Structure 1
Amino acid sequence: MRNTTAIGLGLITLFTGLTVAYFSRQQAMAQATAPTGLILKASPYSVEETETRFKKILESKGLSLFATVDHAENASGAGLELRPTRVVIFGNPKVGTPLMQCQQTMAIDLPQKVLIWEDEQGDVQLAYNDPQYLGGRHRLNGCGVETLKTVSGALNNLTNAAIAP
């Protein structure tokens, strides 16, 4: 019985390690091909499931969900085809407003957005604007540095939770 339990635990540990390694590799590959200013992450779930998980996390954290744009549905309405592609628009005015006070042009990139889509290979990807990149884009010049760090950490944690196995 002990050997069976030890083997079972060993297999679980091995499987968990391989799963984590696989998704870490997927994340690294996605980020290596990311357009400038975007953070890309692979999701093991469908577009719909990734979106649902992400929205539940937003809700649990008390963040405002402003809208969801279903680009594939909109394309279909125009007689066109597009793989599943959705944008979730969300935020927290207590965090975003100070950034806009630093530089009002930040408003073009706020509230926050997460893009969830199915790529050409059928894999699901998630992307969001890198807050540090936005700080440079809008020339915050030191204003809002701590806020940008907070936003970066929050986006990383929110999206990681949505794609966690």
Structure 2
Amino acid sequence: MKLIRLWFGLAIAISSSVLASTSATDDGLVRVKSTHDVSMTADKLAGLLESKGMTIFTRVKHSDSAKKVGVELRPTELIIFGNPKVGSPLMACSQSVAIDLPQKALIMEDDQGEVWLVYNSPSYLAARHHIEGCDKVLSKVEGALANFAKGATQ
């Protein structure tokens, strides 16, 4: 298990150094800086996901909902998406990972006006749910999420 976590941690660190606009932190989140506003980043991500056969379950525009109750919130949108071809094998490895599936991508503007696409690191999910023996599935998820994030933010 430690070797799996170390391998995924190393993969994220390498990815982070290659993409200067990407950061992975101890909180299990991968953050990718976008060159677009929140709406455009979310639209690009949704288009990419759909083009790859992913199901978009919902788009939650948190800032719009906050406005309805008198709360000012910087642009913030959550896209919940998945594909049973990928999620089901992961759940077969550790059924508790279902609490974190389908996948989520948060697109938000920070207090500096920068836009970020944020998602859960697969290595974080592997550690959280004690997933062992599913390196191929985890690697596939990690690569797909990184590609979706890059495509939506560039």
**TM-score when scaled to structure 2?**
0.84
1:115 to 106, 124, 127: 106
What SS does the corresponding residue of 1:115 show, helix, strand or coil?
strand
2:54 to 46, 63, 86: 63
Q: Paired residue for 1:105?
A: 96
User: Relative to total residues, which structure has the larger helix share, 1 or 2?
Assistant: 1
Alpha carbons of structure 1 residues 75 and 52: separation in structure 2 relative to 1, 3 Å: same
- Letter aligned with residue 136 of structure 2: E
1:135 aligns with 2:129: no
Matches of 2:68 and 2:124, distance apart in 1: 34
**TM-score when scaled to structure 1?**
0.78
Larger RCO of the pair (alpha carbons < 8 Å, separation 6+): 2
What RMSD in Å do the two structures reach over aligned CA positions?
A: 1.6
- Letter aligned with residue 81 of structure 1: E
Matches of 2:144 and 2:132, distance apart in 1: 22
Unaligned runs of 5+ in 1: 1-23
Aligned residues: 137
- Letter aligned with residue 126 of structure 2: G
Structure 2 contact 93–132 (Cα < 8 Å) conserved: no
Q: Paired residue for 2:31?
A: 40
- Letter aligned with residue 94 of structure 1: K
Rg: which structure is higher? 1
Q: Which aligned runs of 4 or more in structure 1 are off by greater than 6 angstroms?
A: none
Q: Paired residue for 1:5?
A: none
1:76 aligns with 2:49: no
Structure 1 residue 36, shift from structure 2 partner: 1.6
Matches of 1:111 and 1:55, distance apart in 2: 14
What SS does the corresponding residue of 1:74 show, helix, strand or coil?
helix
1:88 aligns with 2:79: yes
Structure 2 contact 28–120 (Cα < 8 Å) conserved: yes
Deviations 1:34-64 (A, max 9, x none): 4521110100100000011111111111111
What SS does the corresponding residue of 2:146 show, helix, strand or coil?
helix
- Letter aligned with residue 102 of structure 1: C
Deviations 1:8-43 (A, max 9, x none): xxxxxxxxxxxxxxxx44x15xx16x4521110100
Unaligned runs of 5+ in 2: 1-18
